[in-house]
Amino acid sequence: MEERRRRKEVKLMDKEFCVMSCCSRNIHGGKTWEEVKHIAHGARNTTISLAKQVGLPQLVVVKYAAIDDSDTLQRQSEVHAKFQGCPYILRCYGDEYCTAKDNGRIIYNVLFEHASGGNLADLIKTSRGGAGGLPESDVKSFTKSILLGLDCIHNEGYAHLDIKPKNILLVPDLSKKRKRGASASAAFDAKIADFWIANSSKQILAELRWEDRWCLEGTPRYMSPEAIVEHKKGPACDIWALGCVVVEMLCGQPAFSIKPGESLEDFLDRIGFGRESPRIPVGISREAQDFLKRCFVRNSKSRWNANRLLSHPFLKDHIPDAESPHKKATENHTWNHAPNSNNPELTLTVVVSLQSSLESPLGNIMAEMGSRVEDRARHEDLLEAQRFARSKS
C-alpha cells in the first residue's frame, strides 16, 4: 500500500511521458507508444487498447486507468510480475505513468503481450461452425498449456480464481510448424491472462472473516462448490474451473446449463447445495472422461492438483486427428445442451437490481442470498457439532 501511495504522489518530470516503474520493470528503456486501436472498456474503470511502441515492430496491449482509479490495475500488475518468465502466462512488459494530452490527468498504464489469436471463448464459438467443439488434439494441447500455467501460479502460492475461456488468450508460436490438414489453432499457444482477483494463500486466509463469508468473486458458470458454499478460495477452485473449460472445448457447450427463468441465486444454489456436478458427455475418449472426473471431485482436498493432472493419460501422445474417435462422435454427444448464447434466457436477473450472465464476473453481489445461505450453513454446523459430540461420547 505504501508503494502504491508513493507511486501516486510522484511528480512527473515530462508532460508527455515518464516511466515510473518499480522493481526495475522499465519498458524497453522507457520509449513511448502510440495507440493503434481502441479494443474495449475493461473491468474496474480500465480501458484496453492495441498499441505500437515507437521504433519497435511488434504490437502490445495497453490497459490503462486514471491514477485515482488504478489501485486494482496496479495490484494486477504486481501479481502478474510474480510469474514473469513462465511461457504459459501472458507476458507483462511492465507499467508506466503518463500525462493525458487532452486533460492533463495522470494515467497509469500496463503493457501486455498481444494475443493476435484472440481468446479461447471465441475460438470455441467459431470452431466447426459453433457445433461440436475443438478437435481433441487441440484440446489436449491447450489443456496442457493451461495446466503448466496453473502449476506455476500455484507453486508461487497463488490461485487465479477466474479461469474461463475468455481469460485464456492465444499467442502465435513461430516455432510450431503447421502440418498439412492441422487446425489453425495448432499454431497458437494458450496463455493465462487477467489476474484481477488472483490471491495468495496468505491473503485468502486473511479475508475469511464471518462478515465476508458470502461475498463471492469469480464467474458463476466456472465456480466450484466450495467457493459457493464455504467461500473457500484456492488452487482447487482453478482445477474445477479448468474442468469446465475442457468440457466447453470438447463439446462447444458450457459444462453447466441454465434452466429457463432460473435466477443467479437458484443457479448457485443448485451447484453449491444441490450437489450437481457437470455432466461428462459420452462420445469423447475414455481418457478425457477420466480426466474430467478428476477435475470434478466435489471434495476439494481429493481433487487432483495441476502437477498430478499433467501426468494423466489424457495428455499423453494423442491419436492423429483424422482417426480421433472424438471427431466422429461430435454430432452425437449425449449432452444436456445449454441455450444458445444469443438466447435471452441466458441472461439472469439478479436480486440486487443488477443484470448478469453466467459468463460475467460476480463481484460482491451476494448480500440478498445471505439469509438462506447462512441458515443452511448454520444447520450444517449444527449437524457437524452433533456428529463430533457423538464421536466423543
Sequence-ordered list of residues with C-beta below 8 angstroms from that of 122, at least 6 positions apart, any chain: none
Pairing mode of beta strands 354-357, 347-350: antiparallel
Give CA–CA dist 191/170, Å, rounded: 6
Residue 105 φ then ψ, to 5°? -70, 150
* 82 vs 72: CA distance, rounded Å: 16
Tell me the three cell numbers of residue 216.
463471492
DSSP annotation string for 229-281: HS---SHHHHHHHHHHHHHHHHHSS-SS---TT--HHHHHHHHHTS---PPPP
Write down the catalytic residue from 162, 189, 238, 269: 162
Distance of CA 294 to the CA centre of its chain: 19
What is the C-alpha separation between 144 and 267, in angstroms, rounded? 30
The grid coordinates of residue 98 equal 503518463
Our answer to whether residue 162 is catalytic in this structure is: yes
Residues forming the active site? 162
